[in-house]
């Protein structure tokens, strides 16, 4: 499709969605020794999302589509709100492999295509790197190729020009995404492709996160001038210095499996149309996190999704989803 005119803006997650994108999980090594329940966890998430918006699901084959459909039927998913797309993927973490959708002043939506290198950690990523082009083609949507490595879980926007990210993710010498890139280089790229006018740099992410610093496990916008955050490092001080209203989220007790500390975080919630899905961990702090977010989203239903199994894959609800703006 021929390109349409910018400038482009990265909408806030709470703005209206046309759909949510996910990919059906198939990489068993992401959940070593615990893959069996994962399809049922995904199915329950789709059940909730399909009550409020279209859910677009990338599957690897016709057989995988039929298998997912059978699970959805057993789980009570409204299949009228589910659309399948067949394409090969390496993993199912669409927050990082999907296009990041932007909108212009005329309301037109485009797909920004960022390079993906599996968090500069894993060798298999070629199929995931091709996913944005596939999605844009399926949607007959303009595709903007950036030639820069970036993952959606590393940024969070208020829809009005401000963006959260971390220095650990983009500026450290571990798991380097774009060798030689500086703080100014990233700010220029964010401005050019996402319409960002101010980047709020936090120090580091949470322990157990193998992305090395994604912000969506740490701090998230919930309104144009309000963020929720874990009280980690100097995150609260930096956010307040940026002039934001700061609401603290609790942290669950450490979640481990087979001796591995997992990145269990209530900040990895997902905002859909009229709905907020929140990861829970059978922890006393679940109640506090749900209550905190319910007060911040009074016009949305806030639903907890049990994620002790899902988080073994080193991500939960926000990591597995990507919103497509209306």
Mean pLDDT, residues 201-218: 97
* 66 domain-assigned: yes
263, 43 in Cβ contact below 8 A?
Answer: no
For the stretch 63-101, pLDDT in tens is 999 999 999 999 999 999 999 999 999 999 999 999 999
User: How many domains are there within the chain?
Assistant: 1
266 DSSP 8-state letter: G
* 193 domain-assigned: yes
* 203 domain-assigned: yes
- Write phi, then psi, for 155 (nearest 5 degrees): -130, 155
* 305 domain-assigned: yes
Q: Which two tokens stand for residue 73?
A: 């039927």
The rounded mean pLDDT for the chain is 97
* 8 domain-assigned: no
For the stretch 283-308, pLDDT in tens is 999 999 999 999 999 999 999 999 99
- Give me the catalytic one of 58, 236, 293, 319: 319
291, 75 in Cβ contact below 8 A?
Answer: no
Residue 137 domain boundaries? 17-325
d(CA 212, CA 23): 22
Tell me, yes or no, if 307 is annotated catalytic.
Answer: no
* 2 domain-assigned: no
205-218 per-residue burial string, b: 16 or more CB within 10 A, e: under 16: bbebbebbbbbbbb
Other beta carbons less than 10 A from residue 324's beta carbon: 20
Q: What pLDDT band is residue 155 in, cutting at 50, 70 and 90?
A: very high
Q: What pLDDT band is residue 3 in, cutting at 50, 70 and 90?
A: low
Q: Which residue has the tokens 């980690």?
A: 232
Q: What pLDDT band is residue 5 in, cutting at 50, 70 and 90?
A: confident
* 26 domain-assigned: yes
CATH of residue 248's domain is 3.75.10.10
pLDDT at 2: 44
Task: Kindly state the greatest CA–CA separation across the chain.
Answer: 52
């Amino acid at each position: 499709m021929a390109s349409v005119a910018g400038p482009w803006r990265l909408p806030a997650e709470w703005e209206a969605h046309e759909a949510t994108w996910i990919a059906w999980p198939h990489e068993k090594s992401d959940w070593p020794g615990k893959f069996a329940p994962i399809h049922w966890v995904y199915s329950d998430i789709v059940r909730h999302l399909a009550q409020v918006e279209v859910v677009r699901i990338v599957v690897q084959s016709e057989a995988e589509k039929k298998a997912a459909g059978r699970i959805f039927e057993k789980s009570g998913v409204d299949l009228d709100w589910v659309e399948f797309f067949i394409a090969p993927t390496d993993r199912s973490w669409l927050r990082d492999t999907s296009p990041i959708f932007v909108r212009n002043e005329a309301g037109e939506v485009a797909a920004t295509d960022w390079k993906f290198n599996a968090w500069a950690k894993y060798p298999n990523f070629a199929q995931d790197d091709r996913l944005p082009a596939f999605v844009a083609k399926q949607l007959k949507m303009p595709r903007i190729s950036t030639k820069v490595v970036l993952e959606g879980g590393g940024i969070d926007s208020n829809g009005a020009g401000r963006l959260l990210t971390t220095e650990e993710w983009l500026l450290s010498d571990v798991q380097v995404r774009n060798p030689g890139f500086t703080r100014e280089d990233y700010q220029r790229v964010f401005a050019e492709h996402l319409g960002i006018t101010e980047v709020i740099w936090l120090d580091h992410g949470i322990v157990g996160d193998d992305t090395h610093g994604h912000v969506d496990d740490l701090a998230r916008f919930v309104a144009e001038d309000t963020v929720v955050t874990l009280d980690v490092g100097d995150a609260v001080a930096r956010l307040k210095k940026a002039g934001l209203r700061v609401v603290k989220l609790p942290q669950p007790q450490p979640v481990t499996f087979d001796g591995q500390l997992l990145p269990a975080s209530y900040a990895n919630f997902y905002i859909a149309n009229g709905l907020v899905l929140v990861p829970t961990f059978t922890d006393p702090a679940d109640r506090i996190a749900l209550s905190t977010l319910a007060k911040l989203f009074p016009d949305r239903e806030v639903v907890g999704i049990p994620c002790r199994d899902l988080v073994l894959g080193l991500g939960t609800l926000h990591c597995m989803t990507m919103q497509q703006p209306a």
